[in-house]
Amino acid sequence: MVDITPADAVPPAEVAEMELYHPHSWWTKYVFSQDAKVIAIQYSATATAIGMVALVLSWLMRLQLGFPGTFDFITPEAYYQFITMHGMIMVIYLLTALFLGGFGNYLIPLMVGARDMVFPYVNMLSYWIYLLAVLVLVSSFFAPGGPTGAGWTLYPPQAIMTGTPGGQDWGIILMLVSLILFIVGFTMGGLNYVVTVLQGRTRGMTLMRLPLTVWGIFTATVMALLAFPALFVACVMMLLDRALGTSFFMPAIVEMGEQLQHGGGSPILFQHLFWFFGHPEVYIVALPAFGIVSDLISTHARKNIFGYRMMVWAIVGIGALSFVVWAHHMYVSGMHPYFGFFFATTTLIIAVPTAIKVYNWVLTLWRGDIHLTIPMLFALAFIVTFVNGGLTGLFLGNVVVDVPLSDTMFVVAHFHMVMGVAPIIVIFGAIYHWYPKVTGRMLNETLGRFHFWVTFLGAYLIFFPMHYLGLMGVPRRYNELTDMTVMTESAHHLNSFISIMAFIVGFAQIVFLFNLIWSIRHGREAGGNPWRATTLEWQTPETPPAHGNFGKDLPIVYRWAYDYSVPGAKEDFIPQNIPGSFAPSREPA
Amino acid sequence: MAETTLTHIGRTEPRPAGWQGIAADWSSDQRAFKNVSWGKAMMWIFLLSDTFIFGCFLLSYMTARISTRVPWPNPSEVFALRIGGSDIPLILIAIMTFVLISSSGTMAMAVNFGYRRDRRKTAVLMLLTAALGATFVGMQAFEWTKLITEGVRPWGNPWGAAQFGASFFMITGFHGTHVTIGVIFLIIVARKVWRGDYDVGRPGFFTSRRGRYENVEIMGLYWHFVDLVWVFIFAFFYLW
């Protein structure tokens, strides 16, 4: 790719200044706000709140697994409800909403030099529909029969049958309705993010000058707009199966000695639809993390990102490839074995762009001026956990290895490492990094370091032993493991150990939440650009940025986002909006 | 709000050729798609997403139809009307299709008159489009009623595979909802045109954004999309 925009020329404005909506009252300023920054905070707060519910659910599961038979209230039904809600909340309502709705809303307009998202009103609706989806989800805890216990993948036929908690009660219906609402709300926001990046950039901001954070969030949003339709359709069809008695997914089936009215449907069809959404979803969560971590590493190692263009192409390539690998989640579903061959091949090909990214992060660090700030610590921790989870992904991508491992704790270890721990660690790093811009104050350093070490080491101690459990043959999805032959005494000890670590890591998150709230008033004053970063959000005239982001005139961009430690420059960073030709305006070709 | 027309981008450097040129144009300053306003870009991307929804619906229906082990009801017979003593296959569907395609024509004319700032003709043509759309939905309601009285239900029908009724009600219902939403928005935009909102730049009630005659075209994009989807439903559901 050739960056043909010269370093010194100021391209004329192609787009007139956008008309901003100016709030008239407290309500329209802070509650029904059309300002992307407020919407971002609303999204983040809601996602964090529902995420805490999922955290507590994971504790309850670990109580049962670590100390079986001790807690009477965790019945098998309750255990399945915890598993289902924990998975669904973490993947969709926490990670997707926080990365795209939270970070996307806050960072996209600031980083591309826009006043706001292109359609602030639609953006506001997006949040309120998301909130409604969360409320519907929460309401299923209080519905008769409780929430659904179908597993987070909601596989039919069991998802809507009597034996499954919530299957013939309200649980599954509320879950499906909540997902449909989430998709509607997300689409409204997602259209905004995509159009803002494509059409709403400031003068001089070519696509190849975008910070990688924006590239990651942008690509993930495009993927979400194409992947969520499959989940939407699957939800509608299952809702019809459950509510109207259609048979899209329901084969002829006997339940409790009684022939059900259903017949002729295909459960595999649901799995294909679900995973056509579900696999891109992994990267919808991972790509923003990739982008953010690239910026964290570059900023805190005071060095330009290694191979910027390859990083961009890797993001785009991973996004495209992730649409042709979905059936590697279905090796044991009974689909045609030749499919397995195809999907194993595509799955392993994804390792190539992913490996490019990991090498480039490491090469960015190489001989950099590494500052071990808290965001940097989290970024380094991400590389470790992500490589770990990625390598087990290569195991599981092969059919012959996956078949014996697919119903064991090995899979639990794998996906928690790669799409649980890794992205959440990036979220923490990103919060420590951007909190000063959002609030004007730094988070407390001591509490932050405590939070980092407990979270990083603790998460490792939770999920690494699970690989061993999996290789021993300990099955996942079982709430009661006491009498199984694979459960040796050492396996039981390991399980109890994992549970104790889970509690410690969970409590560290409470310290983190305390830090978030405490530092709003008592944190150290941050100033406008505490990390001496180059990207536009740190160049705003006010901190936190005011309505409209950039004062009277929008910034003009003269260079890429990674001019760190440029030889001959006065300081070790040159913001994107500083003109001058002594430094390369882009990665040398 | 972005202006539609791009006057001058002031670039004098030599532009790269071939693939590099395509990539450079795409990633060029400020906008990936020159001459495309925010609203239009957003509608196109939404329609792309919606395409995936209809695509998934149709693929699921085709999977059900291919894999069923009981006979699939013959659409030519099911959707025949008895007129003048003989069964005419698909006659109602043919009329519905004709009505909907015609409404695309009136919509295109409305867009044309909109850019000529002919308020009256634009509004009238949009209302005509809405009327044709409403006629379509009305005929669909008639078709649903007829099938329901003949015993077709989402969970079964007298002639064969239960997925016939399920897919039929789901897909035509989802499409009919799209048409209905389109009709409502056609009426809203037609009212704005009639009142001259786009001439005086009156701010929207909810969004407080000033609308432009381009909104007629954006509305048209949606409407043509709904038509196009119907063509696929017609081909895959009725003609197969």
Residues of chain A in contact with residue B24, where contact means CB-CB under 8 angstroms, are 1-4
Largest CA distance in chain A: 82
pLDDT tens for residues B117-154? 999 999 999 999 999 999 999 999 999 999 999 999 99
- pLDDT value of residue A588: 47
| Interchain contact B206–A (C-beta under 8 A) | yes
Average pLDDT over residues B23-41: 88
Among the residue ranges A203-207, B1-5, B13-17, B122-126, the one predicted with the least confidence is B1-5
pLDDT at A96: 96
pLDDT of residue A258: 86
Domains along chain B? 37-239 (1.20.120.80)
Lowest mean pLDDT among A163-167, A519-523, B16-20, B160-164: B16-20
CA dist., res. B43 & res. A455, Å (int): 43
How does pLDDT run across A140-181, given as a tens digit for each residue? 999 999 999 999 999 999 999 988 999 899 999 999 999 999
* Residues near B14 by beta carbon (within 8 Å), at least 6 away in sequence: none
Q: Is the confidence at residue B13, as pLDDT, over 70?
A: no
SS3 A172: helix
- CB within 8 A of A393, min separation 6: which ones? A347, A351, A414, A418
Cα distance between residue B222 and residue B186, in whole Å: 10
**Quick one: closest CA in A to B4, which residue?**
A15
pLDDT value for A7: 52
- Which residues in A lie closer than 8 A to residue B60 (C-beta atoms)? 233, 237, 248, 269, 273
Nearest to A226 among B23, B49, B63 (CB): B49
Beta carbons of A263 and B2 less than 8 Å apart = no
Please name the residue that has the structure tokens 């909907």.
B100
- The pLDDT value given to residue B7: 44
For chain A, which ranges sit under pLDDT 70?
1-10, 581-589
Give the residue from chain A lying closest to B63, CA to CA: A269
In this predicted complex, what is the ipTM? 0.93
Chain B residue numbers with beta carbons less than 8 Å from the beta carbon of A8 are none
Q: Give the pLDDT band (50/70/90) at residue B210.
A: confident
Q: pLDDT tens across A377-432, in order?
A: 999 999 999 999 999 999 999 999 999 999 999 999 999 999 999 999 999 999 99
Inter-helix orientation angle B214-233/B91-115, to 10°: 160
Distance from CA of B229 to the nearest CA of A (A): 15
| pLDDT of amino acid A16 | 78
What is the per-residue pLDDT for A396? Answer: 94
**pTM > 0.90: yes or no:** yes
- pLDDT tens by residue, B53-75: 999 999 999 999 998 889 999 98
Of B33, B48, B57, the CB nearest to A198: B33
At residue A581, the pLDDT reads 56
Measured distance CA(A283)–CA(A280) in Å, rounded: 5
Q: How far is B85 from chain A (nearest CA, A)?
A: 35
pLDDT digits (tens, 9 = 90+) for A213-257: 999 999 999 999 999 999 999 999 999 999 999 999 999 988 888
Confidence band, pLDDT 50/70/90 cuts, at residue B3: very low
CB contact under 8 A, A240 and B10: no
Select from B26, B30, B218 the residue whose CB has the most chain A CBs within 10 Å, as the one to mutate to test that interface.
Answer: B30
Q: How far is B166 from chain A (nearest CA, A)?
A: 6
- How many angstroms separate the first and last alpha carbons of chain B? 46
Mutate to test the interface with A, among B22, B35, B38, B67 (most CBs of A within 10 A): B38
| pLDDT of B201 over the 60 cut | yes
Whether B27 shows a pLDDT value over 90: the answer reads: no
What is d(CA A470, CA A487) in angstroms, rounded to the nearest whole number? 11
- The vertex-A25 CA angle with A22 and A26, nearest 5°, equals 115
Partner-chain residue, chosen from A192, A199, A248, that has the shortest CB–CB distance to B163: A248
